[in-house]
């Protein structure tokens, strides 16, 4: 029933509606896991991954048919016209992602991080405070009131840009591979990234709902081009995956698909470079007063 909530063609005409869909899917996933598994002493330990699993289950049909629709556009459009067509899908997916982030962030702040976002906090600490990992996890997983000084983000070193860019390219490669193997499988990585960003927003805002817009701005300044790159990679891999099934790999049409996918991957890499530069040099300068 939920897969009938919206279809890709409608989403491309009114992409902002995907924010509501993403918010509903992510919020429903958190609430279902909280209600169903909170009293199970075994499954409660895996609540963070169960939340992502439910979100992927709800979103997968839309993602699959979106990728099929993008592959069909190869027949009718080429070059810049084709890129303009892919842009419509990208807007829809970005709105979907924003719905994930907002829903996860709100429920992080309302329900607390101890049960539903433990793995996301560990990921955040591994990225931002690897030399004090245990202390970071203890501070943010079990304390909802944080200090005004947050040493976990915003520092700039010569190696930080290269490290962040390398990590983002690593995620892009996995997104591309997941899309090649599963078609719409990349939605798992993207839902996971949305939940990690939500945990980071919760930490940055001291779990205060009134400060959530500031937290969203803090992480979306560099997050939107970064996530756009991942979605572009997902579209590229998905287009190839559908093309392998529907066309002879030696045909001219399949070669056109590969050419278009390669262009999308190059575009994604360029966006990742921009996103890493903003994250290392621009975002900390804009929000240094809050760190």
Q: What is the mean pLDDT of the chain?
A: 80
Per-residue pLDDT, 145? 42
Per-residue pLDDT, 37? 85
Per-residue pLDDT, 109? 92
Identify whether 5 is part of a domain.
no
Identify whether 203 is part of a domain.
yes
How far apart CA 121 and CA 195 sit, in angstroms, is 10
Identify whether 88 is part of a domain.
yes
Question: Of 90, 86, 97, 78, whose CA–CA distance to 252 is shortest?
Answer: 78
> Domain containing 254: what range?
14-290
Q: What band does 8 get if pLDDT is binned at 50, 70 and 90?
A: low
Identify whether 8 is part of a domain.
no
> How many structural domains does the chain have?
1
Identify whether 202 is part of a domain.
yes
pLDDT tens digits for range 35-57:
888 778 888 888 999 999 999 98
Cβ pair 46, 38 in contact under 8 A: no
pLDDT tens digits for range 117-147:
988 988 888 877 777 778 788 777 664 444 3
Identify whether 9 is part of a domain.
no
Identify whether 56 is part of a domain.
yes
| pLDDT value at 218 more than 80 | yes
Question: Of 128, 279, 123, 145, whose CA–CA distance to 194 is shortest?
Answer: 123
Instruction: Quote the radius of gyration of the chain (alpha carbons, Å).
Output: 19
Per-residue pLDDT, 75? 54
Identify whether 6 is part of a domain.
no
From first CA to last CA, the distance across the chain in angstroms is 45
Per the model's pLDDT, the better-predicted residue between 111 and 270 turns out to be: 270
């Amino acid at each position: 029933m939920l897969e009938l909530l919206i279809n890709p063609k409608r989403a491309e005409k009114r992409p902002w509606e995907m924010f509501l869909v993403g918010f509903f899917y992510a919020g429903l996933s958190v609430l279902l896991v909280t209600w169903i598994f909170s009293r199970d002493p075994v499954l409660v330990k895996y609540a963070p991954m169960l939340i992502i699993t439910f979100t992927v289950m709800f979103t997968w049909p839309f993602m699959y048919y979106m990728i099929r629709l993008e592959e069909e556009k190869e027949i009718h459009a080429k070059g810049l016209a084709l890129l303009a067509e892919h842009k419509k899908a990208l807007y829809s997916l970005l709105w979907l992602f924003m719905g994930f982030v907002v829903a996860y962030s709100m429920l992080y702040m309302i329900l607390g991080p101890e049960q539903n976002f433990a793995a996301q906090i560990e990921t955040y600490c591994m990225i931002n405070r690897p030399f004090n990992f245990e202390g970071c996890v203890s501070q943010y997983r079990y304390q909802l009131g944080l200090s005004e000084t947050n040493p976990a983000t915003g520092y700039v070193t010569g190696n930080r840009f290269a490290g962040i860019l390398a990590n983002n390219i690593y995620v892009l490669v996995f997104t591309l591979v997941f899309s090649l193997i599963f078609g719409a499988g990349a939605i798992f990585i993207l839902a996971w990234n949305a939940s990690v960003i939500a945990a980071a927003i919760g930490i940055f805002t001291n779990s205060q709902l009134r400060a959530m817009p500031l937290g969203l701005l803090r992480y979306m300044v560099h997050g939107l081009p970064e996530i756009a790159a991942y979605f572009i990679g997902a579209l590229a891999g998905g287009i190839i995956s559908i093309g392998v099934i529907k066309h002879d790999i030696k045909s001219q049409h399949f070669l056109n698909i590969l050419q278009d996918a390669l262009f999308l991957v190059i575009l994604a890499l360029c966006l990742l470079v921009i996103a890493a530069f903003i994250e290392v040099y621009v975002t900390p300068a804009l929000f240094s007063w809050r760190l």
